[in-house]
Chains A and B, each alone.
Chain A
Amino acid sequence: MSIRIDHISKSYGKVNALDDISIQVDPGELFGLIGPDGAGKTTLFRILTTLLLPDHGSASVAGYDIIADFKAIRKQVGYMPGRFSLYQDLTVEENLRFFATIFGTTIAENYDLIRDIYVQIEPFKNRRAGKLSGGMKQKLALSCALIHKPKVLFLDEPTTGVDPVSRKEFWEMLKRLQAKGITILVSTPYMDEAALCDRIALIQDGRILEIDTPKAIVEHYPKPIFDVGAHNTYLLIEKLNAYVHKHSVFPFGEYIHYTDQRDGFDPLELRAYLKNEGLQNIHIERTKATIEDTFMELAKQ
């Protein structure tokens, strides 16, 4: 087991940041923590990277206990905090060299591991880190977190505030790192990124809603789900919410995801209702559930 989290709880005063969390991550797995802001993801990361002590429960990373063997863990893991935490007044190269030095290695020694990522920012190696764009900062931070060849990589919301193209590139890089045998625990508020993980944990208000592969999580969705569209989306949401048989309504891209309370739901009936309410160009089509649907459904309970 690469990461074992056993009934971990942590509270700040009266707020329960983490409530009896248990997760196991296999070696070489790309595991995602999916949840909104304030769900407790950062707290869990800080406990696993030995920065915080849990109130209850135990955990181990790469076989080391997070409390007793915290020094060993600090040598074995790479950590990229949610906030950009490099030295803004140092250049790209100086930052990388500094982190290599404090981990007792050199850039040359582990260049293979970071080459794919670093070549993209190497042209700017004499630029101060504070003057980089969001995507480049994130690549530099990842390079710095990787420079000592960690066994386990912790990435706390690495793609927040990064443009879609860079986000996509970033996930491709993670896949390549995974192929090199590094266990990766990554958190994200973006549900679309969840599908790229081997397994995910849906987390909200410090509690785990579900842990499974993205595919299984989607398949577990209990109800048939429909894309609904019309000429006036605002009015459509209003009317769907007013519909007596509705189970859930929430906007998803250009359509509204709709589920009905009844088992034998007939889309034609809904179409008639909406038409009656004055909506035009009505479009209703069965669709597959997404992780976001599952999350919303679980969070409701």
Chain B
Amino acid sequence: MKRFIGFVQKEFYHIFRDRRSLFILFGMPVAQIMLFGFAITNEINNVDIAILDRSQDASTKEIISKISSSEYFSILQHIKEEAEIEEVFKKGKVKAVLYFEKEFSKKLIKQHTAKVQIVTDATDPNVANTISNYINSILSHYQEEQNRAITLDYQIVPQSRMVFNAELKSVYMFIPGVMTVILMLVSAMMTSISITREKELGTMEILLVSPLNPFQVIIGKVFPYIFLSIINAAAIVILSIFVFHVPVNGSLFLLGLESVLFIVTSLALGILISTISATQQTAMMISLMGLMLPVILLSGFIFPISSMPVPLQVISNIVPAKWFIIIVKGIMLKGVGISIVWKETLVLLGMTLLFIGLSVRKYKIRLE
């Protein structure tokens, strides 16, 4: 036990004396969560649009004022000719042009149909889509107001309700993902680097020629990272609750337990990586390429798994992060308990045992 404490103490010296690892441990999580929470967002706000109004009558003026008074759009300029549409898009600021045909009001009253074209800059298809939807809904809202007096014979009134994230805040989606990425990064990359560093500097040679058995060395190496990762996980949850107002609807205790499980999974992966790489550089490359990319791309963090091609959907099953994200979303947003996420938990547990088993088998008690 004394040996173990001595070893862990040494590990903490390493961590706290290396600015680079300190930054990865504590700077990175905060930076990432702030980046994803504030900067990267799918919501639209104050989008600049242009108006091409060939009628300039009561109806169009009313629609335009409705649009400009919404928080989503601000009208940057009015243009006169169709030819100018492409021009304003090329300048880059204007993301959409609203084009009212001639005699809009008159047609609306006499023929019951008037046309307005929504032209969007689709270089960013998601944003274009969202803008078009927002404008559509403002237009139909206007139409509804006008038709209030008239009763139609048949009418379908769709009422959509978004549950678990009624305001469609993208931070709800990012928090579980960012938490996963950070725990994976800290646990797997930092342990694999710290173990390979001993190999690279030759100190592993001395540790091997000592009464410490490999198991003690490994546990001593990962223990500080378990501790630091738990602090990180807690910090992320606190940030998400108090800064981004993401609720934790389920049990905080269960969330904690699941996080510890995922941390252990990542640590086991880190140990496995260290057994196959000889230098810190290799360990870092394998961790970044082999872990970070799948975690970001294949875990359902950013891109929904259901819309991936089938082979990728199958591959996504072996990414531990996928299961953890399902668990975190379930607990934080849906407020579910272990009775719902037990399957995912079992998968993670199985993976962890597999990784630990593999690393024990691959771990060398000698130099070669």
Contact = CB atoms under 8 A, between A and B. Distances in A.
Q: Do A and B come from one complex?
A: yes
Interface of A: 46, 49-53, 70-71, 74-75, 77, 79, 81, 83-90, 94, 97-99, 101-104, 144
B6 A102 contact: yes
A68 B5 CA distance: 29
Contacts of B9: 98
Nearest to A48: B209
Given A81-B202, A90-B13, A97 B211 contact: no
B238 to A, nearest CB: 31
B367 A46 contact: yes
Given A98-B6, A101-B2, A51 B209 contact: yes
A89 B18 contact: yes
6 contacts: A46-B367, A52-B368, A85-B201, A101-B2, A101-B7, A102-B211
A50 B209 contact: yes
Contact of B205 (A81, A90, A97, A101): A81
Contacts of B366: 50-53
Prevailing SS type, chain B contact patch: helix
Interface in B165-204: 201-203
B210 A89 contact: no
Interface of B: 2-3, 5-7, 9-10, 13-14, 17-18, 201-203, 205-213, 365-368
Given A90-B10, A102-B7, 14 more contacts: A46-B367, A50-B208, A51-B208, A52-B366, A71-B211, A74-B211, A75-B211, A79-B206, A79-B209, A81-B205, A85-B202, A87-B14, A101-B3, A102-B210
A87 B198 CA distance: 9
B14 A103 contact: no
B367 A51 contact: yes
A83 B209 contact: no
Indicate the member of B7, B207, B211, B212 with the most A CB atoms within 10 Å. B211
Given A52-B366, A87-B10, A90-B10, A104 B2 contact: yes
Contacts of B211: 71, 74-75, 102-104
A161 B207 CA distance: 24
A51 B205 contact: yes
B203 A86 contact: yes
A130 B210 CA distance: 22
A51 B6 CA distance: 23
A88 B205 CA distance: 15
Contacts of A79: 205-206, 209
A74 B208 contact: yes
Contacts of B10: 87, 90, 94, 98
Given A81-B202, A83-B202, A89 B209 contact: no
A101 B2 CA distance: 7
Indicate the member of A77, A86, A99, A101 with the most B CB atoms within 10 Å. A101
A77 B209 CA distance: 8
Contacts of B213: 71
A52 B17 CA distance: 33
Contacts of B206: 79, 81, 85-86, 99, 144
A178 B10 CA distance: 32
Nearest to B220: A102
A89 B14 contact: yes
Rank and list the top 6 A-B pairs by shortest CB-CB distance, nearest first: A101-B6, A85-B202, A51-B367, A79-B209, A89-B17, A75-B211
Nearest to B202: A85
A231 to B, nearest CB: 48
A170 B101 CA distance: 97
Contacts of A84: 202
A229 B97 CA distance: 98
A85 B203 contact: yes
